[in-house]
Structure 1
Amino acid sequence: MFGVLFYLSDILEEPPHNIDGVKKGLVLAIPLLGMVITSYTTGALIKKNGTLMRWLINIGLALMTVSLALTIFFNTNLYIFIGLLTISAIGTGLLLPCLNTMITGSVEKEQRGMITSIYSSLRFIGVAFGPPIFGWLMKISHQTVFITVSTLSLITLGLVFFLIKPKGQIS
C-alpha cells in the first residue's frame, strides 16, 4: 500500500493535477484514513474467529485486486483515482489485522516472539524496498505499476483462497 502512495505522491505533482505541499498531504491522507479506520475496526471485530479472518482476507485481497486493476484505466481523473486507492487501502485494512492474528496464533506461545519479530522484519523490508521498486516501475510506465501490483494481489488471493483454511478459533 505504501508503495502505491509513493507512486500517488509523484502523480499528484505532475500535470494535470499539479498538487503540492499541504494539499498533497491531505489528498494522500484519504486512503491512509480508510486503511487505519478499517484496520482498527477489523482488529476489534475478528477476535480469534479463523473463519471470519479467512473471509476478510479474501474480501480484502479481492478489493485490492479489482480497485488496483481499475486504476490502470482511471488514473487521469483524480477523484476516481483517489476513490479506487481508498478502496484498495480498505482492503489492506481488512487484511493486516487478520494476518497478524493468524501468524501469531498459529505458533506455540514460546515461539511467538520470534515469529512476530520475523514477520515485522519482513514488513519493514517491504517498506524499505518499496519506494525504489515503485520508482523503477514508474520509469517503465504508470500502467506497469498497477498491472504489477494488481497481478500480485490476484496471485495472493488465489493462494489464500486455496491454501488458508483455518479451523474455527485461532489460539
Structure 2
Amino acid sequence: TTCIYSFFLFLPVGICKGFLSKRGLEKFVDVSCNFFESQELGRILTVEEPQQKNTDLTDSPSKVAPKGSVQHLPALEGEQPEDSKGKGPVEAFPVQVDLTTNPQGETLDVSFLFLGPMKEQLVVLPFPKEEQRSVKCPAAAKVADPPVLPP
C-alpha cells in the first residue's frame, strides 16, 4: 500500500482575497481563493505492509474540518472617509474561524476588535464548492506589504 508520511503536507493551500460590503445594517464578506497543489506530491513513500481495513474516519485527510481565518486589514491612506477615521478595529489581527458550508453564510461576532459598546458582526460566506487548483506555486510578492503577507 502507499503510505503518506504526513497528510498535512497535502492539505489545500491557497491565497485568498476578499472585501467587506454593506447592505443596510448587514455586513458581508466576499472571498475568492486560488488553491495550489503541494510540491510534496511527488514524494509519496511506498511501503509494503499487510492490508488493513481502517474504519476510523477521524484519521482520513478528506474528513478534516476546514479551518481558516478572517483578518480585517486597515484601509490604505486616502481610502478612508474623514468621518470614519478612528472607528476601525484597534488592531488588524486574524480571527480564527471554522469555514462554513451553509450557503447563507455564518455570522461572526468581531465586536472585540473594536473600541466602544457597538456590536460588530460579519457574515462569512462559504468557499466555492469547486476548487480551482494550479500545479504552480505562487511567485514571490512584487510588493512586500506587511498587512497582507503572512509572517
Q: Same fold (TM over 0.5)?
A: no
- Normalization by structure 2: what TM-score? 0.26
More strand by share: 2
- Normalization by structure 1: what TM-score? 0.24
Larger-Rg structure: 2
More helix by share: 1
